[in-house]
Amino acid sequence: MMRRYLLLLALCALLPPPDAAADVVVIANPRAGVDRLSRDEVVNIFLGRFRQLPSGLSALPADLPSSQPEKAVFYRQLVNKELAEINAYWARLVFSGRTVPPRQAVGNDDLVSWVAGTQGAIGYVDRARADGRVKIVYEFSP
């Protein structure tokens, strides 16, 4: 675990500066009954492997549009993948008819208000946008 963490740290050091500066956090609806998610749980929910919150509720993940830099930062920090790889991953699951990708928000405000209004909803935004209507359930920074 430690080794993977160090590897990730080393890889993060190689990332271009604007990404490193963005502080993306995972947010959930306060009524979801979840305080904290593990990295594996976040991966399972966003990559469509197992969409259940620890509280037993079905997880409803939402993505930002690719035009938002936070999306690339999120997937880079979560699984060290570029958006092209995430798209290729979803092409396999979508066109084999297995799982659908997270629903897509129009932008940051749309995502936060959707998470605030939907039990089980989970998303990611820059820390500065995570207001009192939503709960931070996972952070990348130590």
Partner 1 sequence: MTKDSYNTSGAGRGSGCFSRLLRKPLPWWTRRASVAAVVLAVSTAAQAGDVTSEGGEFSLRGFGTLGLARSSSSQAEFVRDLSQPDGLSTHWSAKTDSVLGLQANFPAAENLEAVAQAVSRYRYDGSHDPELTWAFLKFEPNPNLSLRGGRLGTEFYMLADSRLVGYSYLPIRPPNDYYGALPFSYIDGADGLATLPLGEGLLRSKLFAGLIREKAPLANRQWDMNRSVMSGAYVDYQQGAWQWRLGYAQVKFKKDLPLADLHQLLELNGAMDASKALSMADKLSRFYSAGAVYDSGPLQVQLMLSRTQHDSKVFENSHAGYLIAGYRLNKVTPFAGFSWTRSSSKQLSTGLGPVMDATVAGIMADSHSDQHTATLGLRWDFRQDMALKAQLDAVRGSPRSIFPTRWEQPNYNGRLNIVSLALDFVF
Binding site for partner 1 (CB under 8 A): 4, 11, 40, 44, 49-52, 58-59, 62-63, 65-66, 79-92, 94-98, 100-104
Alpha carbons 22 and 74: distance in angstroms, whole number: 9
Reference 33, options 140, 123, 121; nearest CA is: 121
Question: Token pair for residue 88?
Answer: 């290729």
**Is the CB of 35 or the CB of 38 nearer to partner 1?**
38
- Determine the Cα angle at 125 with ends 139 and 15, to 5°: 70
Question: CB 33 → partner 1: shortest distance, Å?
Answer: 15
**Is the CB of 6 or the CB of 128 nearer to partner 1?**
6
**Is the CB of 102 or the CB of 130 nearer to partner 1?**
102
